[in-house]
């Protein structure tokens, strides 16, 4: 088999895989325990290579036992769905196989990334803004904190961080763990990331933020960074940016907006009010690989002031790579990465394909589907919301009629449907209660897909409940 035939066979496999994604009855995953996968797939790399036929088998095995994240019953993560134009852009990115450090090696990609940053800044209101594509939301949060540190302590770029300065950062108590990681990486220390109390809906309480900043100042510390979460990972809550901005301006603190999950709501005219005040922030993390359905990874850090990112990078000898011979600035000069994957192209292909209006409708549909799921929970006598719906996540649980541990029972329901491959949905804990977290992140979702999920969930819950009753009767 020559390479051309191998390519044709691979294309046929991909086409079949995509057809299965559209089949509402196809399993989300053929679940296997690790020891079972070891028996099914030879993971070892041998001295000699494999034949083309074995290679094709490897492709099929990988796809057969991987989770089908494009399946409309994949409601588990903050990303979901399949985006054909973005997929094509991703394939072309790998085909061209270039890096984003210079215009010289990535002329078209450089122009595309600049255009995407410009477009995204038009939504944030950063009139003189800038930005860079990064390797995930955690990385975006890191670079935002890095930028805030360098503004607070400009000499730290060269002299390092003086521990006597005692920098402190402030985040929602339900914020992503990446801020503590960022503080660790930057030498600030995870313990100096102060968790600010949130209300029952998961939104940071502004008065608590101001109180925390004042307490920090009284301890002789230097508050330098605050993050507003847009939306929290469990409840999908949006922090009140407008009120937080007033506090940050009063104390001269950098305000970052972590929109790694819910930042794309900014595209919706109907729902962008959730991010009221975004133009007052200093930086914004936005992950198109979440609600815009771009293949992983596609993350952007936007900053309010042009030149911020360049000032993060110390003066180094770069004449072997940056030659300053083209009439456009090389993007590598404002990135903490040198080699950097071309992630802007797949976003550009998708945005060009759907258009501005198309993406507005896609985001609105996500919110409509979350609202529909919420209605189903509220209308069913055996289901209850664990917390009010804030945006794209619906947190609920099943109420057994028998005396049992409700948390353990709901976890058992979730694990049963996961391992059967019928549907995949995640869970978390809110005020000690286990919440089944349904996420509407697939823009192609329809009401019938939500109906199907609840059919699977309720049937499984009823079956497990009946078994528990039978066990109780037999024990007595």
C-beta of residue 256 within 8 angstroms of C-beta of residue 148: yes
pLDDT reported for residue 403: 82
Q: What is the pTM of this model?
A: 0.94
Q: Report the alpha-carbon distance of residue 424 to residue 413 in Å, rounded.
A: 11
- What percentage of the chain reaches a pLDDT higher than 70? 97
Radius of gyration of the chain (CA): 24
pLDDT digits (tens, 9 = 90+) for 359-395: 999 999 999 999 999 999 999 999 999 999 999 999 9
Fold of 89-351: 3.40.640
Write down the pLDDT at residue 471.
58
Contact at 8 Å (CB) between 301 and 284? yes
Backbone angles phi, psi at 317, to 5 degrees: -80, 105
Q: Kindly list the domain boundaries of the chain, sorted by start residue.
A: 3-68, 89-351
In degrees and rounded to multiples of 5, residue 216 shows phi and psi of -65, -45
> Predicted confidence band at 447 (pLDDT cuts at 50, 70, 90)?
very high
Identify the pLDDT of residue 4.
84
* C-beta of residue 70 within 8 angstroms of C-beta of residue 81: yes
The two three-digit tokens of residue 400, written as one number: 């057994």
Round the average pLDDT of the chain to a whole number and report it: 94
Of 153-167, 241-255, 277-291, 317-331, minimum mean pLDDT range: 317-331
Write out pLDDT tens, residues 94-110: 999 999 998 999 999 99
User: In the structure, what pLDDT confidence band is assigned to residue 322 with cuts at 50, 70 and 90?
Assistant: confident
The stretch 431-435 carries a mean pLDDT of 96
């Amino acid at each position: 088999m020559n390479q051309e035939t191998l390519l044709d066979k691979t294309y046929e496999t991909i086409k079949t895989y995509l057809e299965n994604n559209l089949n509402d009855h196809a399993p989300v995953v053929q679940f296997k325990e690790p020891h079972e996968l070891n028996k099914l797939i030879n993971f070892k790399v041998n001295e000699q290579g494999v034949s083309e036929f074995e290679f094709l088998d490897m492709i099929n095995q990988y796809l057969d036992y991987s989770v089908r994240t494009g399946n409309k019953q994949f409601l588990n993560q903050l990303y979901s769905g399949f985006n054909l134009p973005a997929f094509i852009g991703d394939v072309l990115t790998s085909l061209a196989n270039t890096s984003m450090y210079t215009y010289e090696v990535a002329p078209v990609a450089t122009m595309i990334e600049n255009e995407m940053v410009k477009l995204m800044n038009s939504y944030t209101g950063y009139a003189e803004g800038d930005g860079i594509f990064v390797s995930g939301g955690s990385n975006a949060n890191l670079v935002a904190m890095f930028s805030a540190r360098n503004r607070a302590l400009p000499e730290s770029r060269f002299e390092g961080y003086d521990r006597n300065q005692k920098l402190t950062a402030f985040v929602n108590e339900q914020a992503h763990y990446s801020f503590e990681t960022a503080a660790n990486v930057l030498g600030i220390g995870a313990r100096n990331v102060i968790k600010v109390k949130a209300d029952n809906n998961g939104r940071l309480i502004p008065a608590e933020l101001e109180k925390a900043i004042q307490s920090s100042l009284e301890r002789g510390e230097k508050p330098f960074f605050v993050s507003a979460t847009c939306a929290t990972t469990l409840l999908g809550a949006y922090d009140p940016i407008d009120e937080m901005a007033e506090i940050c301006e009063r104390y001269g603190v950098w305000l970052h907006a972590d929109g790694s999950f819910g930042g794309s709501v900014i595209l919706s005219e109907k729902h962008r009010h959730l991010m009221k005040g975004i133009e007052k922030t200093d930086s914004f993390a936005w992950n198109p690989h979440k609600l815009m359905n771009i293949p992983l990874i596609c993350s952007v850090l936007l900053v309010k002031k042009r030149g911020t990112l360049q000032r993060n990078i110390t003066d180094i000898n770069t004449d072997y790579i940056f030659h300053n011979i083209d009439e456009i600035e090389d993007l590598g000069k404002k990135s903490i990465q040198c080699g950097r994957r071309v992630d802007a192209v797949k976003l550009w292909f998708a945005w060009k394909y759907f258009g501005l209006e198309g993406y507005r409708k896609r985001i609105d549909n996500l919110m409509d589907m979350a609202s529909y799921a919420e209605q189903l929970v509220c209308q069913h006598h055996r289901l209850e919301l664990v917390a009010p719906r804030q945006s794209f996540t619906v947190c609920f649980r099943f109420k057994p009629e028998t005396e049992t541990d409700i948390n353990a029972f709901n976890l058992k329901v979730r694990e049963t449907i996961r391992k059967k491959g019928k549907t995949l949905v995640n869970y978390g804990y809110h005020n000690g209660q286990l919440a089944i977290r349904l996420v509407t992140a697939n823009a192609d979702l329809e009401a019938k897909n939500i109906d199907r999920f609840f059919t699977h969930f309720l049937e499984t819950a009823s079956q497990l409940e009946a078994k528990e009753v039978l066990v109780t009767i037999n024990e007595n």
